[in-house]
């Protein structure tokens, strides 16, 4: 009796395991579906193994291309954002007309966005890269569902970049490297539209030039910026203007 029960139990287990395996018209399809299920279960290593089997054993099957994209998605879910960006970029290069290219471009942007540090005193190169691909979503795929997120991310990335430029400029000003400070303030004026930031940069450009004892350029900047700054800044600029005029 025990042997019969044991045999029936084994048969039940075998039948349960076989029924759990996804169905498909080909081995490649089955492997792909298994990889999808494993990814959803966060069993990323096993999912990658299934995708590698498609790559090595079924390189010309229909599922070879979706497997490449799924592998990039797995890397993203693993928070391997440098690797996922590279994988999405590679997919885009090899399949430029694929129907999921808007999704791929968005995920490239997201991969870079996830690499942006929390503080502005670190390298913000990922923010520049993210902006490039978010802007592509907005400009080329403006009707897609990814646009609202892209626009929101662009604002946040631009804010960080603006803060970083201001941080560098102010650092040079505080350490009395006035030539470098002026260079950064002028760069801010060329690249940022935020009025508060521009107001600060215009005032500091004038002050830095006065500190460099470049009296005529100082007066030139006063004439150029005076009407654009707020009233508080204008009061300070008037004093600087008087100093520069006396020195000429």
What is the model's pLDDT at position 248? 84
What is the model's pLDDT at position 54? 97
Averaged over 204-214, what is the pLDDT? 97
Max CA pair span of the chain? 113
CB atoms within 10 A of CB 216: 11
Residue that has been written with the tokens 């997919």 in this structure: 91
What is the model's pLDDT at position 3? 54
With a cut of 90, say whether residue 144 has pLDDT above it.
yes
Least confident of 4-13, 131-140, 174-183: 4-13
Q: Please say whether the beta carbons of 119 and 96 come within 8 A.
A: no
Enter the tokens of residue 167: 């941080």
The 8-class DSSP code of residue 22 comes to: P
CA proximity to 89, closest of 144, 145, 141, 133:
133
pLDDT digits (tens, 9 = 90+) for 39-93: 999 999 999 999 999 999 999 999 999 999 999 999 999 999 999 999 999 999 9
Would you place residue 23 in the very low, low, confident or very high pLDDT band (cuts 50, 70, 90)? confident
- Return the C-alpha torsion angle 225, 231, 235, 240, nearest 10: -10
For the entire predicted model, the pTM comes to 0.82
CA distance 30 to 26: 6
CA distance 68 to 71: 5
What's the gap between Cα 112 and its chain centre? 3
CB atoms within 10 A of CB 127: 24
Nearby residues of 79 by Cβ (< 8 Å), 6 or more positions away = 114
């Amino acid at each position: 009796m025990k042997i019969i029960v044991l045999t029936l139990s084994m048969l039940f287990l075998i039948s349960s395991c076989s029924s759990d395996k996804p169905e498909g018209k080909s081995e490649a399809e089955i492997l792909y579906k298994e990889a999808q299920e494993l990814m959803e279960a966060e069993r990323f290593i096993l999912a990658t193994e299934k995708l590698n089997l498609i790559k090595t054993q079924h390189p010309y099957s229909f599922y070879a291309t979706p497997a490449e994209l799924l592998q990039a998605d797995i890397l993203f879910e693993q928070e391997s954002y440098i690797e996922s960006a590279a994988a999405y970029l590679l997919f885009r290069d090899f399949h430029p007309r694929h129907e999921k290219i808007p999704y791929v471009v968005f995920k490239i942007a997201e991969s870079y966005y996830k690499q942006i540090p929390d503080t502005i005193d670190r390298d913000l190169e990922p923010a520049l890269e993210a902006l490039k691909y978010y802007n592509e979503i907005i400009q080329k795929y403006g009707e897609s569902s990814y646009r609202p997120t892209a626009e929101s991310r662009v604002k946040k990335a631009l804010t960080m970049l603006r803060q970083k430029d201001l941080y560098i400029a102010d650092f040079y000003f505080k350490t009395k490297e006035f030539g470098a400070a002026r260079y950064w303030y002028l760069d801010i004026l060329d690249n940022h539209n935020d009025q508060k930031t521009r107001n600060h940069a215009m005032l500091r450009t004038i002050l830095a030039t006065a500190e460099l004892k470049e009296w005529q350029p100082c007066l030139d900047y006063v004439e150029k910026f005076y009407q654009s700054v707020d009233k508080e800044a204008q009061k300070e600029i008037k004093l600087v203007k008087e100093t520069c005029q006396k020195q000429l």
